[in-house]
A and B are shown apart, each in its own frame.
Chain A
Amino acid sequence: MVNENLVKDVVKEPYKYGFVTDIETEKISKGLNEDIVRLISQKKEEPKYLLDFRLKAFKKWQKMKEPDWAGLGYKKIDYQDIIYYSAPKQKEKISSLDEVDPKLLETFDKLGIPLTEQKKLTNVAVDAVFDSVSIATTFREELAEHGVIFCSISEAVKNHSDLIEKYLGTVVPASDNYFAALNSAVFSDGSFVFIPKGVTCPMDLSSYFRINSGDSGQFERTLIIAEESSSVSYLEGCTAPMFDTNTLHAAVVELIALDDASIKYSTVQNWYAGDEEGIGGIFNFVTKRGKCLGKRSKISWSQVETGSAITWKYPSCLLLGEESVGEFYSVALTNNLQQADTGTKMIHIGPKTKSTIVSKGISAGNSINSYRGLVKMGTKATGARNYSQCDSMLIGDQASANTFPYIKSQQPNSEIEHEASTCRISEDQLFYLQSRGIEFEEAVSMMVSGFCRDVFNQLPMEFAAEADKLLALKLEGSVG
């Protein structure tokens, strides 16, 4: 039989990214009003259209109500008690990495993010975002040779204003939902990627988001545009220090794929999840959506969600182009008092569009892990197909696993298949592995890894290894 104490010991594995960097930061005063929105825009020296975009979003947000349909239990957020702009103080313009505050470099070094020259060998271009601003983007020259634009969104506003004006808010409109409206009003930074026609991005692009201040929210915005016949793989990672207050993270990600383009967006989310008592942790309310505008375009989301006190996240695909493809591969792990309500929306609009959903939820401790997804076949989606698979694994008898798939079809010539199952780590399998000399914890880890294999196979190499380690770390022995 499984040792209960062992379970508790291993579940207590500390959060190793919980340190705080002691660095001088520039913060604006707490609270949110029109002046704050104007101030953020002014600090970033934004053109008028962007200020108008922010103000319009802010007006809409004021009229909206915080959604409660997910039934997540959390303390009401006081939006006037949050700092909406916080940036590490450094020289205005940075020409090379040497000018970045060494403390910041050290922070990212501790997190294992390759910003420094010697680590650039890993061949992944990184945009590092610290609190509200992007502090460095690597490999820019090399990427520019191929015509690829990879920079922070603030730089893009200055240097590629036409693209921002054309695409910003076209996939996730400012009024889309409460948190998207909030983000549209106060977003501080984020990444911008533009892959020109016919270019296959020579390396993986990566953004790393770090929240350092305890009282400021993070509102980043990512925009990725893949022109005709181009392709890109984008990776996103997140961590935050341990605070006993809750920090709000409300991001918006917009992807646009034109004819024959392909975007692969992978996330390993490991925000601080709070302690065993549920104190502290990040509230992660994110809107991610991709638009397959072109024919045969493809958007693939893969995510490993292990952190955050609350996760509210539904990376979605609007399949407009004929024969376009949407994919969603997700592993969500919750422990202690974490709550995750995650899933996807696949909206089939164009003919012969295809989508695949594979979602694996693992709930341990007293956590709640829900899959909530929508598959919709519009009237013009002839020959469209969807396949969804949602599996849940329960660890311990206090955890909860829910599945809420919404399925809607208005097109007879389309097919939707959905299946879901729930299981637990079988004692027979554990016994089998242990009887062959495999340590208990390793056996559990193997089984969890096997359970998630369909998703891990879709992750880029570096992430797959990290994800596997992350799950093993969070779960070893937590079988009840």
Chain B
Amino acid sequence: MEIIEKIKTNKSIDNLTEIQKFCLDKLESTPLPNPKSEQWRLANKSKLSNFLDYSVNEKNPKFDTPFPNTSQSNIRLVIGDNCLINVIEENYSIKQLSEDKLVKYIKEQISCFNQNENWSELLNLSLNSRKNTLGLKINGSEIPPIEIFSHASSNSLNAKTLVIFLEKNCDIDLLQVNLGKDNSSLSQSTFFCLEENSSVNHGVVSYGENKSNLLNSLNVIQQKNSEYNLGSLHFKFNYARFEIRIKQSEGNAKTNIKGMQITKKDEQISTYTKIDFNGPNGFLDQINKSLADDKSHAIFEGSIIVPKIAQKTDASQLSRNLLLSNLAQIDTKPQLEIIADDVKCKHGATISQLNEEELFYMRTRGITLPEASKLQLSSYFQEITSFIPVSKDRWDLLDKLLNEN
């Protein structure tokens, strides 16, 4: 209940919006997620309560990008900062979503929310008035790559919301960067709607600092013949949780997901995915990698739901995990729930450490142990980092990861 009071009495929030009020009402019945539920049973309670400890802050400090500046051809947006965009070019247009449409869409989404499963979104929408919400409507072709930043300020809890409508036959590269500051909590919710024949290469890079926390949720609705490619990377968070929910609303769509989480010290980072095939001929290829070191805890839970209507679905899910320390732990739970009979579904999971034979081989060739480990990690990371759009040319994520580890 504390969090609800905090929002209601917060001075930096002028007036509660209709959506805020609605979500707050829902949160009142479930102020905290049920710790016994499947989605939350492994969540570290003290870390989650630490997430909520900071005061709610709607104001954004000056944003200094830790990454190289964008070149001319890229569009860079910072949620809560220079949110206003209205680009109309010959081949494409990127417009602000109208207030009505935005509210209508969010309301529609909330109506299907499960209070426990969608707790992160309810919290986000309760915290966030319009100031930190970015709604975009994109159409056309040859659209330059887009980068969208969300950031939290020190000693505060910030919430950012992003809603994107990708119109028919549209094709974009989008990189979302979530930055955590020292002692901060960031709640980020993204709603993505892909219309027919559209395609997106979506990258999510979440990079924290000492004692930063993140609750990141991503809701994607894919209409037929759309293609959604997601590359994600979460690291350096005291506590981070990435929830992905994808619905192929009519089937006949393609989804590729490659995600990775890296935990060190006593961090906990978890990824939850739920892929719902709501029509025939759906395709999914998912790989999730974790690396846990020191006393950290990495979690992956993925569920694939194939109802009767989703005949000829082809779905595969793989969870690969590296456990590098005696005190670290990894939990993984890939799940399949299938009713349709004419489907190809499979999943796999492995947990191991770095391959000793490979290490030995490299060492016999004069490569030192730290170098050999780095080489192995580099190949482990590469599969994911190379899948993240935009980043690979200008930001050397791989280099960053290797030097961190």
Residue numbers of A with Cβ under 8 A of B are 377, 379, 392, 394-424, 480
Contact = CB atoms under 8 A, between A and B. Distances in A.
A352 B44 CA distance: 30
A407 B323 CA distance: 13
Contacts of A402: 335-338
A399 B306 CA distance: 12
B271 to A, nearest CB: 14
B338 A401 contact: yes
Contact of A400 (B321, B324, B338, B351): B338
Contacts of A398: 308, 339
Contact of B331 (A408, A424, A480): A408
Contacts of A418: 334, 347-350
Given A407-B331, A409-B323, A421-B345, A416 B339 contact: no
A273 to B, nearest CB: 20
Given A407-B332, A418-B348, A421-B346, A397 B340 contact: yes
B344 to A, nearest CB: 7
Given A411-B323, A416-B352, A422 B331 contact: no
B126 interface: no
Contact of B323 (A401, A403, A405, A412): A412
B28 interface: no
A476 B311 CA distance: 24
A247 B264 CA distance: 52
B285 to A, nearest CB: 15
B347 A413 contact: no
B328 interface: yes
A417 B342 contact: no
Nearest to B350: A417
B338 A392 contact: yes
B362 interface: no
Contacts of A400: 337-339
B342 A424 contact: yes
Main secondary structure, interface of B, reads strand
The 7 A-B residue pairs with the shortest CB-CB distance in the complex, in nearest-first order? A394-B341, A421-B346, A418-B349, A412-B323, A422-B345, A416-B351, A409-B351
Interface string B306-337: 00100100000001010111101111111111
B353 interface: yes
Contacts of B325: 412
A422 B336 contact: yes
Contacts, number: 109
Given A400-B337, A410-B323, 18 more contacts: A394-B343, A396-B341, A397-B308, A397-B339, A399-B341, A404-B333, A407-B331, A407-B349, A408-B331, A409-B330, A409-B351, A412-B324, A412-B328, A415-B350, A417-B349, A419-B347, A419-B348, A420-B334
Contacts of A410: 323, 326, 328-329
Contact of A379 (B326, B331, B336, B349): B326
Contact of A405 (B308, B329, B333, B340): B333
A406 B335 CA distance: 9
Contact of A422 (B323, B343, B351): B343
Contacts of B349: 405, 407, 416-419
A406 B331 contact: yes
B400 to A, nearest CB: 24
Given A392-B338, A413-B353, A415-B351, A422 B329 contact: no
A409 B328 CA distance: 9
10 contacts: A397-B340, A404-B335, A405-B334, A407-B332, A412-B328, A419-B348, A420-B336, A421-B345, A422-B345, A424-B342
Contacts of B352: 414-416
Interface in B52-72: none
A247 to B, nearest CB: 29
Contacts of B334: 403, 405, 418, 420
Nearest to A415: B352
A136 to B, nearest CB: 45
Contacts of A411: 323, 326
Contacts of A403: 334-336, 347
Contacts of A408: 329-332
A355 B330 CA distance: 19
A409 B346 contact: no
Contacts of A401: 336, 338
A365 to B, nearest CB: 12
A415 B356 CA distance: 12
A28 to B, nearest CB: 37
Contacts of A424: 341-343
B338 A420 contact: no
Nearest to A407: B332
A415 B330 CA distance: 12
